[in-house]
């Protein structure tokens, strides 16, 4: 079956976050004082770099064993949105892990699994209609707009249409190639995002890309889905448009089951929401590349709320792996979160661990190594293996329209 991996970023991007100025030091969260939110925009400062490609945790035997043992039957792919299968977006199942203990619920039971003082960290990046038809010479191509870069460039992936509404991989390039897009526009391919790479390329457009996507774009679709869906099916209740037209090439799908009713129930029980932004790029469905940098922002109010909640004994639960990456990129060695904006190249592994995140709500995806290791960093390997086995045994639905998994701290966590 075609995998939609637990998403990756899409290229080495350089932005104003690199080499920036550090925020003033904040008090430790264990103390009685919690920093008040600063006024104005978040400061920009360097974030932690990735674990080296040779890190043994990235190819550890136990992680590989989990990957090798994971086989999801075709019929467990969620082919249509939950609202077409049931009574609404929140009509999906919820697998709850506390260490190696697993329980089964409906998503509408989520408020009962959390407690007053907990914080849900949500990604407000809106999904773009990021797929556009084009022509490269005499060949039909589909352009996937992955990430907005600097100086007017976009990272793009060229794909071959498969005749059934989805696409197949093809090499990018060569440099200088011109892709014609609807409305008379052109994309000029400049260079691979990775030296020697073929999949993702920097491109410069002769037209305004956000306008192009609004007029001619459609959501990126994977072959396991049954048919095209409107862009609204790929937006979460938390999605906010970006002033500069940036957004996510793929939906931050862990938040998809949330509805206004579920949010209201959570708030009424004392659970708080902390927004941040991380614009996701095109997943590497075939190349299985490691994660690359992504653009993100953790605002001052979110940093303050997370620090205050942890100081008061609340749990910080990230909604999706994008929220984990952003929040951990803003956390110092003791878990204090600082306001920051820029680009992050952080790779979260069990060796590094998590410093600001206590739990995770995530979709069920056939994981690539980096995604699996992030989950293991939060849950522990034994707990993760147990949860995946339970999900398969109880025939949970997978991928962005499927069921979800809540990982909470519990006894017996192992790494």
- 132 strand-pairing partners: 143
The pLDDT tens digits of the residues spanning 221-232 come to: 988 888 889 999
Last residue of one domain, picked from the residues 161, 186, 218: 218
The pLDDT tens digits of the residues spanning 118-132 come to: 999 999 999 999 999
* Same-domain status, 248 and 363: yes
**Taking Cα atoms as reference points, which of 246, 212, 29 lies closest to residue 132?**
212
Average pLDDT over residues 46-69: 45
| Domain carrying residue 210 | 131-218
Contact 151, 186 (CB under 8 A): no
Contacts for 11 with CB less than 8 Å, ≥ 6 apart: 146, 147, 155, 193, 194, 200, 202, 281, 292, 293
Task: Supply the mean pLDDT for the chain.
Answer: 84
* Same-domain status, 143 and 175: yes
Average pLDDT over residues 231-260: 96
* Same-domain status, 275 and 304: yes
Q: Within a domain: residue 340? A: yes
Distance separating alpha carbons of residues 381 and 212, to the nearest angstrom: 44
Average pLDDT over residues 17-34: 33
pLDDT at 183 over 90: yes
Please confirm whether the linkage preceding 174 is cis (ω < 30° from 0): yes
The pLDDT tens digits of the residues spanning 69-95 come to: 677 888 999 999 999 998 899 999 999
The pLDDT tens digits of the residues spanning 291-330 come to: 777 899 999 999 999 999 999 999 999 999 999 999 999 9
Write down the pLDDT at residue 367. 61
Q: Within a domain: residue 118? A: yes
Number of domains in the chain: 2
Distance separating alpha carbons of residues 274 and 299, to the nearest angstrom: 9
Q: What is the CATH number of the domain that holds 365?
A: 3.40.1780.10
Q: Is 219 exposed, middle or buried (0-12, 13-18, 19+ CB in 10 A)?
A: buried
Write down the pLDDT at residue 284. 64
* Same-domain status, 186 and 121: no
Of 77-91, 338-352, 400-414, the least confident: 400-414
* Same-domain status, 273 and 311: yes
3-state secondary structure of 119: strand
Contacts for 232 with CB less than 8 Å, ≥ 6 apart: none
Q: Within a domain: residue 31? A: no
pTM: 0.84
* Same-domain status, 135 and 122: no
């Amino acid at each position: 079956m075609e995998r939609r991996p637990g998403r990756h970023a899409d290229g080495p991007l350089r932005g104003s976050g690199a080499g920036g100025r550090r925020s003033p030091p904040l008090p430790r969260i264990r103390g009685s004082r919690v920093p008040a939110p600063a006024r104005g925009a978040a400061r920009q400062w360097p974030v932690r770099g990735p674990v080296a490609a040779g890190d043994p945790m990235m190819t550890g035997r136990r992680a590989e064993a989990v990957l090798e043992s994971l086989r999801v039957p075709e019929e467990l792919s969620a082919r249509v949105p939950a609202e077409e299968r049931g009574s609404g977006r929140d009509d999906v199942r919820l697998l709850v892990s506390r260490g190696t203990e697993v329980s089964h619920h409906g998503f509408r039971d989520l408020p009962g699994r959390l407690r007053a003082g907990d914080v849900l960290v949500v990604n407000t990046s809106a999904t773009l209609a990021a797929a556009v038809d084009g022509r490269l010479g005499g060949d039909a191509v589909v352009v996937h707009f992955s990430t907005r870069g600097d100086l007017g460039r976009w990272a793009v992936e060229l794909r071959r249409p498969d005749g059934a509404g989805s696409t197949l991989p093809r090499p990018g390039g060569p440099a200088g190639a011109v892709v014609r897009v609807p409305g008379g526009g052109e994309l000029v391919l400049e260079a691979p995002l990775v030296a020697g790479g073929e999949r993702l390329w920097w491109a410069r457009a002769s037209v305004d890309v956000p306008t192009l996507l609004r007029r001619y774009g459609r959501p990126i679709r994977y072959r396991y889905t049954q048919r095209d869906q409107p862009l609204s099916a790929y937006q979460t209740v938390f999605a906010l448009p970006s002033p500069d037209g940036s957004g996510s090439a793929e939906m931050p799908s862990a938040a998809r089951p949330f509805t206004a009713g579920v949010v209201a129930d959570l708030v009424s029980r004392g659970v708080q929401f902390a927004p941040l932004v991380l614009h996701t790029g095109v997943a590497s469905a075939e190349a299985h590349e490691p994660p690359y940098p992504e653009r993100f922002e953790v605002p001052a109010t979110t940093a303050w709320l997370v620090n205050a909640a942890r100081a008061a004994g609340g749990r910080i639960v990230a909604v999706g792996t994008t929220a984990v990456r952003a929040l951990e990129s803003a956390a110092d060695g003791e878990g204090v979160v600082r306001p920051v904006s820029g680009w992050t190249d952080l790779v979260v592994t069990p060796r590094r661990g998590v410093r600001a995140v206590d739990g995770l709500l995530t979709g069920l995806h056939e994981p690539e190594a980096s995604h699996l290791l992030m989950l293991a960093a939060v849950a522990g390997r034994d707990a993760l293996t147990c949860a995946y086995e339970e999900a398969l045994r109880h025939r949970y639905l997978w991928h962005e329209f499927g069921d979800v998994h809540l990982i909470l701290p519990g006894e017996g966590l192992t790494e």
